[in-house]
């Protein structure tokens, strides 16, 4: 975004009703709410976005989504008038030139960062603007992935509003009523309690944060619960906002958050993390784990890996033996199928990749159901339907194929003897995605490892299954075993 004071710009209001002002004149917004939402998305992304990604987010229609995108882009150009050149849509990508815009969010950030004094709440009504909700009226029914992005952006903006209003409430010259209003709103934004708790709702303190990996990819992470830290490595088919509502992850996350500060993050290319990424490799997955842990400043901690997240956890534990106090591996494997599969199995796996490439994004769930049925063969129709929809919301078809390719070639077999932490291996006896022989391999070659087998055919047991109760009991019992744990760095609590 342009710094305050930049000339030749359009001022954009994102707090309260969307408005664009240029030279003192209010620009006419497109009549289409979807087009307005598309403009805000491009503005806040602050980078080029592939047309395919925009079609997935905004134009999930059976007819020509690219034509619908072109129509919306033409309406944005009309809105921008002389500034239409700020929108570039050449080739396969679309971008807004951020130097041509300034926003009320820029002003909040600038005021917070001023070293000389707290922000003056009288400056152009900035504090009153901060009392307005972020990005209202931009929800798009039926577009779950876009709405999840919108929820995450609102959460980030609300944290910014809270920080600003906490400073504004202490400014001299305010009436007692003004100070109280700003302080109450700042407190509400800090804790953000829901009006009604439900069994599927996340803990009250879940906040989604972002950190930057070394290559500039934004990684979304969240911390829930209280107590000693427990870090869960990312795995594909996770979504920080949607995990709670489904039959797979919700109970495990809730129970672990009762006794620990549980740190979770979405894999790059997946969930709320950046979807448009150049590097989707095993090495990048390990760097992302390093980035999240270093951002939080956790010195020593237990590490939980699930499915392909186990290999990432093993590599991290081998690289950083002094930081991992306990290692927990659920449904994991040390080598992808391209290293170990026979010809028949390899042919089946290649066929699945082909089906995913051509059918993952379609309304018909039959292609995604290949995964659903092997992940949870004994699931009910409702549970299968949820998982089918969940898969589509977590990753694009292109990224789904890239993930499968990356997982097929990972290999940490030579790293197993290098793991120094006490290790608990949990594996379903009837696992159809990752046969139990691969769990036995982990337990056999990792020093100080023990194996617990689970009575289920689900790759990751459903919340309702007794196997999930067993997993929770085993993890909590394992973590009660004495081991040195370092504290969470204080900078986490300031975020």
- How many CB atoms sit inside 10 A of residue 444's CB? 11
Mean pLDDT of 290-306: 94
Phi, psi of 42 (to 5 degrees): -65, -40
Among 315, 317, 300, 329, residue whose Cα is nearest residue 449: 329
List alpha helices for 169-281, DSSP H. Answer: 176-191, 250-259
List alpha helices for 116-242, DSSP H. Answer: 126-130, 144-168, 176-191
pLDDT the model gives residue 484:
43
User: Which residues of 55-122 form beta strands (DSSP E)?
Assistant: 87-88, 93-96, 101-103
pLDDT the model gives residue 56:
85
For residue 4, what is the DSSP state? T
Check if the beta carbon of residue 268 is closer than 8 Å to that of residue 394: no
Check if the beta carbon of residue 21 is closer than 8 Å to that of residue 27: yes
Measured in whole angstroms, how far is the alpha carbon of residue 136 from the centre of its chain? 22
Among 285, 284, 278, residue whose Cα is nearest residue 308: 285
pLDDT tens across 132-144, in order?
888 998 988 878 7
Q: Average the pLDDT over each of 38-52, 185-199, 210-224, 313-327 and give the range with the smallest value.
A: 185-199
Strand order across the beta sheet in which 101-103 lies: 25-26, 19-22, 10-13, 101-103
pLDDT the model gives residue 355:
76
Residue 491 is encoded by which pair of tokens? 């900078």
Phi, psi of 11 (to 5 degrees): -85, 130
Check if the beta carbon of residue 224 is closer than 8 Å to that of residue 257: yes
- Cα 224 from Cα 238, distance rounded (Å): 16
Among 95, 77, 81, residue whose Cα is nearest residue 21: 81
Mean pLDDT of 233-252: 86
- CB-hemisphere CA count at 13 Å for 229? 29
- Cα 367 from Cα 352, distance rounded (Å): 8
Among 440, 472, 469, residue whose Cα is nearest residue 453: 440
pLDDT the model gives residue 151:
77
Q: Is the pLDDT of residue 196 over 50?
A: no
DSSP 307-322: TTHHHHHHHHHHH-TT
CATH 1.10.3720.10 fits domain 207-494: no
Residue 20 is encoded by which pair of tokens? 């664009």
pLDDT tens across 66-123, in order?
899 999 999 999 999 999 999 999 888 999 999 999 999 998 888 887 645 444 444 5
pLDDT the model gives residue 121:
43
From residue 138, alpha-carbon distances to 22, 141, 153, 193, 305 in Å are 22, 10, 12, 22, 36
Q: What end-to-end distance do the CA atoms of the chain give, in Å? A: 22
- How many CB atoms sit inside 10 A of residue 400's CB? 25
User: Which residues of 51-204 form beta strands (DSSP E)?
Assistant: 87-88, 93-96, 101-103
Name the pLDDT band for 486 (thresholds 50, 70, 90).
Answer: very low
Measured in whole angstroms, how far is the alpha carbon of residue 356 from the centre of its chain? 22
pLDDT tens across 252-294, in order?
998 999 889 999 999 999 989 998 899 999 999 999 999 999 9
Among 115, 79, 120, 114, residue whose Cα is nearest residue 96: 79
pTM for the full predicted model: 0.60
pLDDT the model gives residue 489:
38
Q: Average the pLDDT over each of 56-65, 266-275, 292-301, 317-326 and give the range with the smallest value.
A: 56-65
- Cα 284 from Cα 312, distance rounded (Å): 10
Average pLDDT value for the chain: 84
Among 400, 404, 361, 143, residue whose Cα is nearest residue 269: 400
Residue 466 is encoded by which pair of tokens? 């007794």
pLDDT tens across 203-241, in order?
446 888 999 999 999 999 999 988 899 999 998 888 898
pLDDT tens across 392-433, in order?
788 888 888 899 999 999 999 999 999 999 999 999 999 988
- Cα 265 from Cα 235, distance rounded (Å): 9
- Cα 150 from Cα 113, distance rounded (Å): 25
Q: Is the pLDDT of residue 198 over 60?
A: no
Mean pLDDT of 300-323: 96
Measured in whole angstroms, how far is the alpha carbon of residue 193 from the centre of its chain? 21
How many helices (H) and strands (E) the chain has is answered by 17, 15
Going from N- to C-terminal start, the domains of the chain cover 10-183, 207-494
pLDDT tens across 355-376, in order?
777 766 565 556 556 667 778 8
Mean pLDDT of 343-352: 84
């Amino acid at each position: 975004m342009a710094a305050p004071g930049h000339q030749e710009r359009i001022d954009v209001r994102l707090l309260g009703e969307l408005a664009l002002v240029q030279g003192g004149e209010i620009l006419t917004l497109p009549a289409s709410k979807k087009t307005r939402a598309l403009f805000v998305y491009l503005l806040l992304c602050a980078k080029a976005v592939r047309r395919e990604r925009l079609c997935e987010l905004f134009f999930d229609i059976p007819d020509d989504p690219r034509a619908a995108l072109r129509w919306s882009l033409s309406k944005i150009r009309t809105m921008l008038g002389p500034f239409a050149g700020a929108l570039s849509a050449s080739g396969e990508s679309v971008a807004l030139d951020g130097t041509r815009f300034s926003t009320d969010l820029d002003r909040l950030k600038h005021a917070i960062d001023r070293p000389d004094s707290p922000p003056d709440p009288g400056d152009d009504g900035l504090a009153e603007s901060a009392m307005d909700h972020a990005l209202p009226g931009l929800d798009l029914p039926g577009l779950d992935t876009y709405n999840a992005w919108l929820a995450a952006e609102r959460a980030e903006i609300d944290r910014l509003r809270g920080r600003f209003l906490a400073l504004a409430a202490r400014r001299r010259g305010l009436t007692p009523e003004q100070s109280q209003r700003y302080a109450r709103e700042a407190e509400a934004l800090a804790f953000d309690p829901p009006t009604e708790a439900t069994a599927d709702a996340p803990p009250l303190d879940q906040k989604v944060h972002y950190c930057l990996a070394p290559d500039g990819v934004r990684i979304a992470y969240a911390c829930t619960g209280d107590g000693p830290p427990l870090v869960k490595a990312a795995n594909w088919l996770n979504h920080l906002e949607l995990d709670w509502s489904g039959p797979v992850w919700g109970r495990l996350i809730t129970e672990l958050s009762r006794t620990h500060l549980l740190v979770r993050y979405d894999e790059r290319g997946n969930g709320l993390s950046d979807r448009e990424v150049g590097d989707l490799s095993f090495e990048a997955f390990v760097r992302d784990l390093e980035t999240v842990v270093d951002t939080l400043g956790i010195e020593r901690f237990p590490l939980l890996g699930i499915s392909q997240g186990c290999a990432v956890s093993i590599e991290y534990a081998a690289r950083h033996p002094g930081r991992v106090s306990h290692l927990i591996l659920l449904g994991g494997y040390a080598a992808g199928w391209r290293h170990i599969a026979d010809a028949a199995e390899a042919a089946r796996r290649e066929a699945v990749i082909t089906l995913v490439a051509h059918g993952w994004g379609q309304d018909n769930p039959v292609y995604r159901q290949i995964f659903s049925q092997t992940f949870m063969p004994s699931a009910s129709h409702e549970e299968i339907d949820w998982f089918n929809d969940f898969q589509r919301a977590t990753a694009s078809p292109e990224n789904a194929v890239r993930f499968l390719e990356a997982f097929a070639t990972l290999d940490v077999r030579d790293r197993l003897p290098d793991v120094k932490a006490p290790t608990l291996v949990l594996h379903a006896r009837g696992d159809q995605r990752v046969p139990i022989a691969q769990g036995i391999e982990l337990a056999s070659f990792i020093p100080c490892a023990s194996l617990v087998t689970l009575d289920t055919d689900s790759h990751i047991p459903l919340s309702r299954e007794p196997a999930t109760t067993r997993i929770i009991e085993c993890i909590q019992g394992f973590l009660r075993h004495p081991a040195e744990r370092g504290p969470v760095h204080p900078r986490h609590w300031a975020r």
